[in-house]
Amino acid sequence: MRVGGRPGARLGGGRIHVGQRLSEGGSRVIHAVGDLVRHHPELRARMDGWLAGDDLWLIRAALLHMNRWKARRDADWLFAACLARADHPDFFVRKAIGWALRELLPRKRAINPPLGLATVAALTPSHWRITILDENVEPLPTALDADVVGICGMAVQHQRQRELLTHYRQRGRYVVAGGAYASLSPEAYTGLVDTWVVGEAERTWPRFCQDFAAGRPRAQYRQHEPVDLRESPTELASEHGQLLARRKYPPPLVVIGDEAKFAGSILVPKIIKAVGDALNAKPKEAL
């Protein structure tokens, strides 16, 4: 790459000439590079070279050069590029990987259907009528014909959780909170719920269902130790997954061993492994 004296990028002598340092020009220069590569496909090899090099700004440019291509993006190349640099130590390269993958999923608030909800459904007595709703992909009804309404979410969704719990409880529904934030900060739900479930649900949710049916549900159900996920109802969860509006999600992410696949392409297994040893996962023979 040659650095000239003006912003933007141009083609000359079979090379991409960048008129401003990528560290200074940012997205404007990267978009200009992307326009050149789109109109001159022979320059794709140049992106391969940038991706394989040591200059972190060129790596970022290679990862992000398709961001304005929309339907013309080469998903297979992009996923392979993200995988190739998934172990890069620089924060900005990792950020570029996240941006690149996000651009492949425009207007999607959720990448995968909520397997946790399908699992909870599978842990529910078979004669109970179950409806699974995910506000990430469809609006929630203001009125629900249900005896129990369960709301789960993460910390960033807590305010919305509060609104929903209050809304349905005021309308006479028995409301239960669970999920990541209810497990992390159960005190945040005091006065908002009839019951909250702390920790993994494989053992606690069946106990709640039994107690509710007997007319004596407790205020809190807590699972202190990690659950052996071989206890988790894989086959039943798959059946209850049919209750999810799957067509509204992108193609699924599947993790088997150290390998992750997305729409048939390998997707950054090192990023998934980076979550750490605390990640609780089902053994692959259970999938």
pLDDT higher than 60, residue 219: yes
CA angle 151, 154, 159 (to 5 degrees): 70
Q: Where are the domains of the chain?
A: 2-103, 115-246
**Residue 115 and residue 241 in contact, taking contact as beta carbons nearer than 8 Å:** yes
Closest to 272 measured CA to CA, from 133, 48, 82:
82
70 dihedral zone (left: phi>0; alpha: psi -120 to 50; beta): left
Structure confidence at residue 153 (pLDDT) = 86
CA angle 250, 251, 253 (to 5 degrees): 110
Give the domain 115-246 fold. Answer: Rossmann fold (3.40.50)
75-84 and 44-52 are packed helices; what angle lies between their axes, rounded to 10 degrees? 20
Question: Does 264 have pLDDT greater than 90?
Answer: no
Tell me whether the CATH fold assigned to 2-103 matches the one assigned to 115-246.
Answer: no
Round to whole Å and give the CA distance between 249 and 264: 16
From the options 1.25.10.90, 3.10.20.30, 3.20.20.60, 3.10.310.30, give the CATH code of 2-103: 1.25.10.90
pTM: 0.55
Per-residue pLDDT reduced to its tens digit, 83-133: 888 888 888 888 888 888 776 655 556 666 777 888 898 899 989 999 888
Percent of the chain with pLDDT over 90: 26
The rounded mean pLDDT for the chain is 76
CA atoms of 54 and 43, how far apart (whole Å)? 19
Place of tokens 């407790």: 218
- Residue 177: how many CB atoms within 10 A of its CB? 27
Q: How far apart are CA 181 and CA 161, in angstroms?
A: 10
Model confidence at 54: pLDDT above 60: yes
